[in-house]
Every structure is written in structure tokens, then in C-alpha cells.
Structure 1
Amino acid sequence: MATIVEGVVMKEELNVEPQEKKTEGKVEEVKDKVAEKIEKKIEEMKIKDDVKEENVAVQIEPKTGVSFPVKLADGKELNSTGLRKKSVLGIGVKIYGFGMYADNLKLKELLKSKISKIPEKPTKEMYQLVIDSDVGAMVRLVIVFGGLSMSMVRKNFDEGLGASLKKLTGGQKNEELVNRVMGAASDSIKLTSGSVIEIARLPGFILQTKVKGEVVSKVESELLCRAYFHMYLGDDPFDKEAKERFGVSMLSLL
């Protein structure tokens, strides 16, 4: 795949003035641009391959334009999409679009076993059931802010997941547990726009993290699983509208 993409990108990038190619600095600049475009195109093709394999429709996250397949190869279904923003110097910066997936058959069984009367609107109890349960679920993050590094992502997790753990434990941040989420992911990994990170809850309360298709950690911890999904479905979620859409999806299962 990389060879094909490289040929396409090189053809685009090498269409420069001859005098520019004589300068070593310009050559290095072209090489960097080629490498970045190759990486981005590979990520785009991986996403397209996921969709093509399942031959399913996609849903577009409107604030970022990121597309998410409505069903994954393992059967998990898309229940909501949203946007993660960070405030930098008072300006809201778009970091990644995300899609929240779940094993809806098991989620339906869980909801029906715990909720006797269907509510008019999603309830806190419904969200808490998802947070506390062992039902298979996954959040796919697609980077939209170019130039992110793994060290920046680690810092983001330290803040978000650390705060979530403190809420659930009554004040204990548990840095060691947070640091295990990104596991063996090298800080040198470049996360260009379109890069994908997938964090899934597997049976047995195992939180698995994939960075650009590679498994970087598997952490068995009920507390960590609960804290992670609490960031998206808890009282102070990353994207309130995304949480509400997930709630509406749960109601449809009932």
C-alpha cells in the first residue's frame, strides 16, 4: 500500500522548479512533505478499507467532516459521533472527531434487564449502566489537529482520564494506571490529521488501545474501563451533544 501511495505523492511533490531542488534545505522540506502526505494517505486508505470490507454506510461527524463506518467488522455499531476540543489561549481548538461504538445486542439485553419502564428521555441510570457494565464498547478517535505527538496525547490523557479517575475514586488520580493506557506507544510517533486511535473495552474489563492499527496496551482494570467511558458519558462529558445522541440510540434499543 505504501509503495502505491508513495508513487502518487512523489509525482505531486516533485513538480517543483529545478532551481529549488538544488537547495539542500528545499530538498529536505520536500522529503518531509512527501513523508507526511504518504502517512496521511495511508491512514485515509485504512479507514476506507474498513468501510469497504463491511460494505456499510458511513456517518459524517459534522463539526470535523470525519466519516465513521456505521458498523465494524466485529459487529459493534456506531451509536454517536462527537468532537473533542481543547481551549488554547481562550480559543477552542478541534483535537479529534470520535465515534462511540457498542455491541448493541448485549447492550439491549442489559438495558431491558435493568429498566422496566421505558423513559421519555435518556436517564442518568442508563448512562451509568453503560459506564459500569462489561458490554463491549469502543471509541474511535480520528485526529483532526495536525502536528500532534504521542507525548501531547499522553498529556491529554493524563488530564482527562486522570480527572475522571479522581471523580470515581473520591480524589485519587492514580497516575500509574493512566500511564498504562498508551503503554508501549513511542513518543516519536507522529499523529498527522487522519491518524486513528481506538480504545476498546473487551470482555473481562480489559481496556485495549490501538494507535494507527497497532495494539500498544491491554490493561485489565474495571476502574480504568469505567473512568474511560465516564469521560464521554458521565456528568461532564467531552461533548454533551454526543452523549445525548448516545442516549437517544439507547432508547431506540428499548
Structure 2
Amino acid sequence: MASTGSTSKESVAVQIEPKTGISFPFKLDDGMELVAVGLRKKSILGLGGIKVYGFGIFADNEKLKEVLRLKIGSKAPSKPTKEMYEAVLESDVGMMVRLVFVFSGVSMGMIKKNFDHILGVSVRKLNGGRSDQKLTAKVFGDASDNIKLTSGSIIEITRLPGYILQTKVKDEIVSKVESELLCKAYFHMYLGDEAFDVDAKERFGQSLLSLF
């Protein structure tokens, strides 16, 4: 579903994440384009299925097209394949996940603890069963545990060329970490075998097919 939203400069086209009503622009100022939207649910205090945040996955589609043609070839597969997702995860093409919170009772301390766990699982899976807690702890850098993430608060985690993972909390850069493993592990949570939102992963895959 698409509509238009306003910025201070001009109206921009947006896509609505249907389960939360959160809007994401189709294109960012840096040229990255929206390729999928989804929802992250979490069991909190014994309550299952709490909507924590909606997310939008953005990417440099021109660079992704180059990667896919190099790794897969010029002919599109009939459906998204594991090889396609792997090509994206292993590349250093610019990508970003924007998290927009819908659940208000969240602090940065809670987010750090949760990320240390789920990102740690992803790191172990991609690192021969070896964990690296120091690496995963770097994602949120020195961001204060006391930061309150109310409804509408935004976190952006971006893979920059050179395998640099940058984290912004409420529009403030809190860390930049150069690590191919960390970049792959982070996006693996959204595009890997046990993706947070399977439908969002599928939409991402369909978007990749359109690039051939």
C-alpha cells in the first residue's frame, strides 16, 4: 500500500507497514530504496506476540544488481533462492534497516540485552559455533541504558561499504564497527534461515528478482 507523506522539502511516496500503520519512504536522501517492510514481535513479561517495532529494509539497488549478476548470472531464477540471499549477505553493498518502535515500554538497556542475545545467536551460527560477546556489544556503543524508546522512536542500523556497521539512535550516531562477520550476522537476522518476519524476507527476495 502506498500513499504520500510530507517532509520539510516536498511530498515523498511512502509504503505503510500494514500491521503497525508505520510509513517508510520509498527512497532516502542518500539514494537507497525501500525493498521490504515487516514487523518484529517479541514475548515480553510473559505476554506473547507484542508488537515491538515495524521495520523497513533499504538498499542500494544498483549495487545489488551488480552483485546478483556477478554471483547468479543475468537470468532471474523462477523464485528467490538461498544463493541470492547469501550473495546479498556476503556483499558490502550499502543496506539499512530502520526500526520504528510501536511498543512504548522499552529502554535502551532492554534493547541492548535483547540484541546481545539474538545477534549473538546469529554470530555463533555464522562463526563455526563460536560466540563473540565483545563484538555484539559494540553495536550500540556507548548509548546510555537509560534512553527511553517511546512509540515512534527510530533506530537505524546501516551496512556501509567496507563492511562497516553504523548505528544511529534517535538520529545520533552511537557506533561504527568495521566487521564483515557483524555485518553479515546482523542482516542474517532479517534475511537468514530464521528471519524475524518471513513475509518481509520473501518480499525482499521478490524485489531482488526484479533487479535481473
For Structure 1 versus Structure 2, the TM-score category normalised by the shorter chain is over 0.9
Identify the structure with the greater helix proportion: 1
Q: Which residue of 1 aligns with 2:208?
A: 250
Question: Is 2:17 aligned against 1:61?
Answer: yes
Task: Give a deviation string over 1:115-153, Cα, whole Å, max 9, x none.
Answer: 223111000000011111010000000011112100000
Q: 2:125 aligns with which of 158, 163, 167?
A: 167
Contact 1:206 1:218 in 2 (8 A): yes
In the alignment, the residues of structure 1 paired with residue 178 and residue 79 of structure 2 have an alpha-carbon distance, to the nearest angstrom, of: 33
**Structure 1 residue 193: Cα displacement:** 0.4
Task: Give a deviation string over 1:11-69, Cα, whole Å, max 9, x none.
Answer: xxxxxxxxxxxxxxxxxxxxxxxxxxxxxxxxxxxxx9984546420000001111000
Q: Which residue of 2 aligns with 1:188?
A: 146
The unaligned stretches of length 5 or more in structure 2 are none
Select the structure of larger CA radius of gyration.
1
Task: Give a deviation string over 1:196-253, Cα, whole Å, max 9, x none.
Answer: 0000001110000000000000000000000001000000000000000000000011
TM-score (norm 2): 0.94
The count of corresponding residues between Structure 1 and Structure 2 is 207
In the alignment, the residues of structure 1 paired with residue 10 and residue 28 of structure 2 have an alpha-carbon distance, to the nearest angstrom, of: 7
Identify if the C-alpha distance between structure 1 residues 130 and 50 changes in structure 2 by more than 3 Å, giving closer, same or farther: farther
**Structure 1 residue 85: Cα displacement:** 0.7
* Aligned positions of 1:43-122 closer than 5 A: 51-53=7-9, 55-88=11-44, 89=46, 91-116=48-73, 117-122=75-80
Contact 2:101 2:154 in 1 (8 A): yes
TM-score (norm 1): 0.79
Contact 1:54 1:72 in 2 (8 A): no
Question: Is 2:190 aligned against 1:232?
Answer: yes
SS in 1 for 2:210: helix
In the alignment, the residues of structure 1 paired with residue 188 and residue 154 of structure 2 have an alpha-carbon distance, to the nearest angstrom, of: 21
Contact 1:50 1:69 in 2 (8 A): no
In the alignment, the residues of structure 2 paired with residue 175 and residue 190 of structure 1 have an alpha-carbon distance, to the nearest angstrom, of: 24
Q: Which residue of 1 aligns with 2:176?
A: 218
Q: Alignment identity in percent?
A: 66
Contact 1:50 1:72 in 2 (8 A): no
In the alignment, the residues of structure 2 paired with residue 187 and residue 194 of structure 1 have an alpha-carbon distance, to the nearest angstrom, of: 18
Identify the structure with the greater strand proportion: 2
SS in 1 for 2:12: coil
In the alignment, the residues of structure 2 paired with residue 239 and residue 51 of structure 1 have an alpha-carbon distance, to the nearest angstrom, of: 28
Task: Give a deviation string over 1:141-194, Cα, whole Å, max 9, x none.
Answer: 001111210000001101110110010012122110011000021111110000
